[in-house]
Chains A and B, each alone.
Chain A
Amino acid sequence: MPSLKDLKTRIESVKSTRKITKAMQMVAAAKLRRAQDAAEAARPYADKMAAVVGGLAASVGGSDGAPRLLAGTGQDQTHLLVVMTAERGLCGGFNSSIVRMAKARIAQLIAQGKTVKVLTVGKKGREQLRRDYANLLIGHVDLSEVKRVGYENAATIAKDVMARFDAGEFDVATIFYNRFQSVISQIPTAQQVIPAVFEDAAEDAGAETPYDYEPSEEAILSDLLPIGVTTQIFTALLENAASEQGARMSAMDNATRNAGDMIDKLTIEFNRSRQAVITNELIEIISGAEAL
C-alpha cells in the first residue's frame, strides 16, 4: 500500500502529464488546420497536372518514343520503396502503420526473388526499418529542420529518386505514405510513381478536346513527367503532414482522457487511504482510553 505522500506525488505527476498532452493536442490541432489548408491549396495543381499528363500519357504511351519515366525499364527486378514517415513520435500508430505496410511489401518482394532498396523520408521510419532491413536502406532524407514542407523539399526528393532511376539503380519506385481521411482515420497508401501510373486519367482522356501541342506531344510529355513525379511526391508529403498532425491530435486526446481517468482513480485511492489513517488513529485512541 503506497503511502499518502507517494499517492500525492503520483497525482501531481499525472496532472502535469495531462497538461502536457492537452497542450500537444491543441498544438497539433492548430498545425493540422494549417497542414490541411496547404494540402487543399496544392490540390488544383496536382489534379490538373495528373489530368494533363494522364491524357498525354494515354495518347503517347503506346508508341516506341515514350519517355523512360513512363515506359519503365522493361523489367521489374529491382524495387525502390520510398517510405515517408514523421520526424517525431507521439502520434499514435501513424509511423508504425506505414512501416508495417512497407515491411509487408518488402517481405513479399523478397519472397518473389526481387531486389529491394529502401529510401526513407523521416527519422521514425528509418529507425524502425533499420532493425530488420538495415542492409536495404540506401538513403535517407532528413526533414527535421523543415517547419513546413514546401515544393522544394519534394523537388529534392524527386531529383534524388530520378537520378537513381537514370543511373539504373532500380526499375520500379513506390512511395508509402498516409493518406489523410479524417482526424481519426489515416490510410496507409502505396503508390507507384516510376514508371508513372495514371489510374483514372485513361478514361476521360478520350472525352477531352483535341489539343494542339507545342512543341510535340512527346517533348511536352518528357518535360512534364518529372514535374508530375515531383507533384505526386509533394502531394504525398502534404497528405502525410496532415495525417501526422491528425494522428497526433487523436493520440494526445486519448492520452489526456486516460490521464484524467487515472487522476480520478488515484484521488479516490488517496481519499480512502487518508480515511483509513484517520480511522486507525481513532481506534488507537479509543482502545488506549478503554485500556485505562
Chain B
Amino acid sequence: MAEAFKFDLVSPERRLASLDATEVQIPAAGGDLTAMANHAPTITTLRPGLLQVTHSGGQDDYIVLGGFVEISGEKVTVLAERALPRAEVTKALHAEMVEEYRQAHEAAKANAAVDPTLVDDAAKRLSDMEALGDHITA
C-alpha cells in the first residue's frame, strides 16, 4: 500500500474533494505528472484535462479547466478555475466547452496584432480541450 497524503480539489465555487489519496495524476501545462507522497514541492499551472485521484476507496476522475496545482511534501492542492466530476461531463457539455475555446481562439486570432502569443496559447487550450473528448463516454 502506497503512502497516503492529503489531497484537495477546490474550484472558486466549491470544494470538490478533500481526502487522503495515494496517487494523483495531474494534467500540468508542461505535460502530465503523477504526484505521490513526498513529491518535491512544486507549483505548476494546469491545462484542460483529466485529473485522476487514486485513494483507498478506488479512483475518482475529474475534468479540470485551467488553474494551478500546489504540491508540497504531504499535501496536494489543485485549484481549478473550473472542475467537474467526470461523470457530470456529457458529450454535449464537452462540445459546448470546445466551442467556447474555439471562439476564444478566433478572438485571439482577431487580436493577433496586439499579442501573438495569445493565439498560440488559445490554440493549445483548444487542442487540449478537443483531446479531452477521448475520455468522455457519457
With contact pairs A52-B70, A209-B73, A215-B30 given, residues A45 and B11 touching in the complex (Cβ less than 8 Å):
yes
Chain A's nearest CB lies how many Å from the CB of B2? 22
Main secondary structure of the interface of B (DSSP, over half): strand
Query: Interface extent on A, as a size class?
Result: 20 to 34
Chain B's nearest CB lies how many Å from the CB of A229? 12
Residues on B with beta carbons closer than 8 Å to the beta carbon of A41: 13-15
Number of B residues, CB within 8 Å of A: 26
With contact pairs A48-B70, A49-B79 given, residues A220 and B10 touching in the complex (Cβ less than 8 Å):
no
- In the bound complex, what is the Cα–Cα distance between A41 and B28 (angstroms)? 25
Number of residue pairs A-B, CB distance < 8 angstroms? 75
Q: With an 8 A cutoff between CB atoms, is B40 at the interface?
A: yes
One of A38, A209, A212, A215 near B29 (C-beta < 8 A): A215
With contact pairs A49-B79, A52-B68, A223-B45 given, residues A214 and B12 touching in the complex (Cβ less than 8 Å):
no
One of A45, A211, A223 near B12 (C-beta < 8 A): A45
Contact with A along B1-45 (1 / 0, CB 8 A): 000000010111111000000000000111000000000111111
Q: With an 8 A cutoff between CB atoms, is A231 at the interface?
A: yes
Residues on B with beta carbons closer than 8 Å to the beta carbon of A38: 13
One of A151, A211, A231 near B42 (C-beta < 8 A): A211
Residues on B with beta carbons closer than 8 Å to the beta carbon of A227: 66-67, 81
Chain A residue at minimum C-beta to C-beta distance from B12: A151
One of B13, B43, B81 near A220 (C-beta < 8 A): B43
Contact B40 A45 (CB under 8 A): no
Interface residues of B in 50-107 (CB under 8 A from A): 66-68, 70, 72-73, 77, 79, 81-82
Chain A's nearest CB lies how many Å from the CB of B133? 23
- In the bound complex, what is the Cα–Cα distance between A234 and B10 (angstroms)? 15
Chain B's nearest CB lies how many Å from the CB of A181? 22
Residues on A with beta carbons closer than 8 Å to the beta carbon of B14: 41-42
8 extra interface residue pairs, beta carbon distance < 8 Å, beyond A45-B79, A150-B13, A211-B43? A42-B12, A52-B68, A212-B41, A214-B42, A219-B45, A223-B45, A224-B68, A227-B67
